[in-house]
Amino acid sequence: MKFTFAHNNLNVLNLEKSLNFYKRALGLTEIRRKEASDGSFVLVFLGDGETDHALELTWLRDWEKPYDLGDNEFHLAFVVDDYEAAHSLHAEMGCICYENPGMGIYFIEDPDGYWLEIVPKR
């Protein structure tokens, strides 16, 4: 028996704002979408164009308050080929929330408060 990664899910409050953030900050683009027939939810799967792994953004029509992300340190990590250019872009966007120069990494925060780790290609 073998298991492989398929996707990760993040619930979002404002789908368009999140789609714009992930496109600008990480270059992720929509690869497929599923909308409930009653309009109660929308699932948008984003891809990086390189791997099969996807990020699923879930928007729920009746959800109106920010999601409680708890105290766990859940995050997704992205490897980037031009770390300095990425850092400059994210600094310009104002989304860098934590830096660890000793480890050579930093984190950005999406519109819903999820942290995304940026790691240089090594």
pLDDT in tens, the chain (122 residues): 888 889 999 999 999 999 999 999 999 999 999 999 999 999 999 999 999 999 999 999 999 999 998 887 789 999 999 999 999 999 999 999 999 999 999 999 999 999 999 999 98
Look up the CATH number of the domain holding residue 30.
3.10.180.10
Q: Which of 72, 59, 65, 57 has its CA nearest to residue 22?
A: 57
This prediction has a pTM of: 0.93
Q: Is the distance from CB of 115 to CB of 107 less than 8 angstroms?
A: yes
How far apart CA 1 and CA 70 sit, in angstroms, is 33
Instruction: Answer whether residue 104 is part of any domain.
Output: yes
Instruction: Answer whether residue 68 is part of any domain.
Output: no
Q: What is the pLDDT of residue 74?
A: 84
The one-letter amino acid code at 85 reads A
Catalytic residues: 117
Range of the domain at 90: 7-63+73-120
Instruction: Answer whether residue 2 is part of any domain.
Output: no
